[in-house]
Amino acid sequence: MTDEMNLTIEPERPRVLVVDDSEDIQALIRFRLRGEDISLYQAFDAEDALKQSRELHPDLLLLDLNLPGQSGLELIHRLKDEHELSNIPVIFLTGTDDITTKVQAFDAGAVDYITKPFDGVELSARVRAALRTKRYLDLLATRAQLDGLTGLWNRAYFDDRLRDECAVSQRHKRPVSLIMLDIDHFKSLNDRFGHPFGDLVLQRVAQTLLATTRRTEIACRYGGEEFAVILRETDLEGAMKTAGRIRVAIELLEFKNEAEPVKVTASLGASSSEVFSGVFEPDDLMASADQALYKAKHGGRNQVCRA
């Protein structure tokens, strides 16, 4: 057995982002949580916290309500406004027992609160409880949103996510792009070699999508032999490059039916929010990408076309 085969993969430790402008509080929290199996990160204001949240995707925020510049309440609202950050649980830290403030924090989406000065045992217990709940909810949500055959996000998740990303794109004036992909002559592959072979093709194409896209790009099985990739903060040129990379990777896949090599290719269409001069709906972006896919399929297949 090789050394590589003996390697064991350690589960990643939960990431906890502490957002507080006080060096003393940051140091105290780090001391109190030193025995917990977590990775701690620090932010001292709302902008830094938002930036780190986008980069780290923390499993929990310990958030001071009284931050310089932008308050903790305002930060919670901004987190809930972004799909990928909206499910991060927040425990807020407060030096007041004011009921109105606590109600506002809970209404904004906080899951718990701790009053300063806090007890170390209580802090650890509340952090463990919040992380445990998030882990269970993540498992339940993921199972409901995955395609059973390919392991990609399913159509229901795609519809929800595209709607959210289009809204964020228009609200913050950032581009969003969409790639639609169709496996060429898939029905004939099924008819000729059987459905188990067709399932294998779908699975290998799904693996290729995951291998050729970035973490921030959302690969989904749209239905049948059709796939979709949502590209956040990506213009049409960037989407075309990604689509080209996917097309080549699929063409290089090797399939065999018994001893017979089988060629598998795909046609792709790309569109972007850039093609619309004003307000657009998710269906508009879908229709545009679909039209580009139609051009690719009827222009000879195994190619990428743009809106």
The residues assigned a catalytic role are 225
Q: Take residue 270 and report the two structure tokens written for it.
A: 């790309």
Residues in contact with 255: Cβ distance below 8 Å, sequence separation at least 6, in sequence order = 197, 200, 201, 204, 261, 262, 263, 264
Reported as half-sphere exposure (CB side, CA atoms, 13 A), residue 169 has a value of 26
Q: Residue 145 burial (CB < 10 Å; 0-12/13-18/19+)?
A: middle
- Report yes or no: 246 and 192 within 8 Å, Cβ to Cβ: no
If one counts every other C-beta atom within 10 angstroms of the C-beta of residue 236, the result is 19
Number of helices (H) and strands (E), helices first, in the chain?
11, 12
Is cis: bond before 117, omega within 30 of 0? Answer: yes
Cα–Cα distance measured from residue 173 to residue 48, given in angstroms and rounded to the nearest whole number: 21
- Report yes or no: 147 and 153 within 8 Å, Cβ to Cβ: yes
